[in-house]
Amino acid sequence: MTAVQGTDVDIATADGVADAYLAHPADGLPHPGVLFYQDAFGIRPHLKAMADRLAGEGYTVLVPNVFYRHGRTPVFDLPEFIDPSADPTIWQQIMPVMMSLTPELTDRDSAAYLDWLAQSPLVADGPVAITGYCMGARLAMRTAAAFPDRVAAAGGFHGGRMVTEDADSPHLLAGRVTAELYFGFADQDQSMTEEQIRTFQEALDTAGVRNTCEIYRGADHGYTQADTPAYSAEASERHWEALLGLLKRTF
C-alpha cells in the first residue's frame, strides 16, 4: 500500500456543481482513474476510507456526491452507525432524493465526472474503471453503457433492482456495454432475487459482454458498508479481492 492523499473537489456539471472526494497516491503522478459510486447513504467517513484503500493500491479515485442537487455533503443527517431498522426516518429522508435521480440526470452527471477525470493531471490517459455500491451498482452499469469508449471495466456490489419491468431497467443496457463487468450479489438481498440475477447474467451473456456474476452466500444488501448492520467482513474482503482483480486485468 502506498501513501495516500485525500482532498475535497468540486465538479462542474450541466446542472450546477457536484462536490466530491478525491483519493490518490501521494506521489502526485498520474494513475489509472476509478469513478466510485456511492450507496444511498452518501459520502461519509466509511466511504472515504474505502476510496483511500483503493487509492493505496495505485489508483486515482473520484467519489462524487450524486445527490448534489439536494445540497453538499453531508446531504442527510445520519448517525455514525446507520441502522434504518432502528430509525425508519432515515429512509424517509433518503427515498425521495434517490427517486429524483433519473436515468437522464445520471447520464448527464456521469459525463461531467468522466470529463473531470480525463482533465485531471492525477489521472492516467485512457479509459477509466468504475465501482459502485447498492444504488451505485446501477449507476456503474448505466455509465458503462452510456460511455462505452470511456469505461474499460465496471464492478457492482450488492446492487439491487438491476432487473425490473421498467423500460430503463439496467439489464436492458447490456448491448451497449464494451467494458468487462463484475457483479457480486448478496443472496439475502430482496431487491435482487436469484431469478433476477439469472436474468441479468443472461442479458450480459447474450450481448457478449465479458462478465462475472457471483452470489455471496449469507451476505446482506450492503455487505461492504462497515457503518451499517449489513456489513460482513468476509464478504467485504471477497469484494476487495474481486475488485482489485478486475482492475489489475484492466490496467
- Catalytic annotation on 239? no
Identified catalytic residue from 31, 46, 158, 221: 221
Cis peptide before 121 (omega within 30 of 0): no
- Catalytic annotation on 134? yes
- Judging by DSSP bridges, how do beta strands 16-25 and 60-64 pair with one another? antiparallel
Report the chain's terminal Cα–Cα distance, integer Å. Answer: 17
Identified catalytic residue from 189, 220, 227, 239: 189
- Catalytic annotation on 213? no
Identified catalytic residue from 24, 46, 134, 213: 134
Name the residues annotated as catalytic.
134, 189, 221
